[in-house]
């Protein structure tokens, strides 16, 4: 991992990504090993080595708008196999953070799910799965998807109807206040 080695300098999109992720992607020589081992590459609109190339070309909007950054499952296969030790999985995290902050719209439902997940933690400290699913379905309006599977799991005692109480509400609230203010950066 090269996170410590990166030297952030202002200006280009490349420099912005290096600074945000702490990963120096300038060493990429396009061997495509990241894309060859990526399990979700067939669902990507821009394959991993091309994401790096587009960053180097300064294509900010194109990269932050692409579906690939959300389809990435954070499996870290690319990072462990990179011959230049580029932690690309971490770069993908940084690109997602930048995309969310920049307000660039994406066609994927994935960030909508993440928002529902975080709202769930903010509300009750823990994620109550049934509430999360309902929260997400209210946003996507796809109520019947996996309904049969949900019933099977309910019958087997895997779905709790009510969330649990918890302590630590104030601390969790403070963490989310800081997140929403963007105060930590």
**Residues in region 100-129 near other proteins by CB under 8 A:** 100, 108-115, 117-118, 120-121, 125-129
Long-range contact set of residues 40-48: C-beta below 8 Å, sequence gap at least 24: 40/71, 40/72, 40/73, 43/71, 44/68, 44/71, 44/72, 48/78, 48/88
Subset of residues 133 to 162 that bind other proteins, contact rule: CB under 8 A: 133, 136, 145-146, 149, 152-153, 156-160
Interface pick for other proteins out of 61, 76, 102, 147 (rule CB under 8 A): 76
Q: Is 40 in the site for other proteins (CB under 8 A)?
A: yes
CA separation, residue 175 to residues 81, 99, 182, 185 (Å): 35, 21, 11, 13
Closest CA to 63 of 72, 71, 54: 54
Q: Which two tokens stand for residue 135?
A: 């929260």
By CB under 8 A, name the binding residues for other proteins.
1, 3-4, 22, 39-40, 43, 70-71, 73-77, 79-80, 87, 89, 93-94, 96-97, 100, 108-115, 117-118, 120-121, 125-130, 133, 136, 145-146, 149, 152-153, 156-160, 164, 166-168, 171-172, 174-176, 178-179, 184-185
């Amino acid at each position: 991992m090269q996170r410590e080695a990166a030297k952030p300098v202002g200006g280009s999109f490349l420099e912005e990504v290096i600074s945000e992720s702490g990963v120096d992607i300038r060493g990429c020589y396009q061997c495509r090993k990241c894309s060859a081992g990526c399990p979700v590459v067939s669902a990507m609109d821009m394959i991993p080595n091309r994401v790096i190339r587009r960053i180097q070309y300064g294509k900010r909007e194109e990269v932050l708008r692409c579906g690939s950054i959300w389809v990435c499952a954070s499996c870290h296969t690319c990072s462990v196999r990179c011959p230049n030790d580029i932690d690309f999985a971490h770069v993908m995290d940084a690109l997602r953070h930048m995309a969310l902050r920049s307000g660039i719209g994406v066609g994927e439902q994935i960030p909508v799910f993440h928002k529902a997940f975080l709202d769930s933690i903010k509300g009750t400290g823990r994620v109550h799965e049934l509430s999360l699913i309902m929260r997400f379905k209210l946003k996507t309006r796809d109520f019947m998807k996996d309904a049969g599977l949900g019933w099977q799991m309910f019958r087997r005692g895997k779905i709790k109807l009510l969330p649990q109480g918890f302590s630590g509400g104030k601390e969790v609230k403070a963490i989310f206040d800081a997140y929403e203010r963007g105060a930590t950066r």
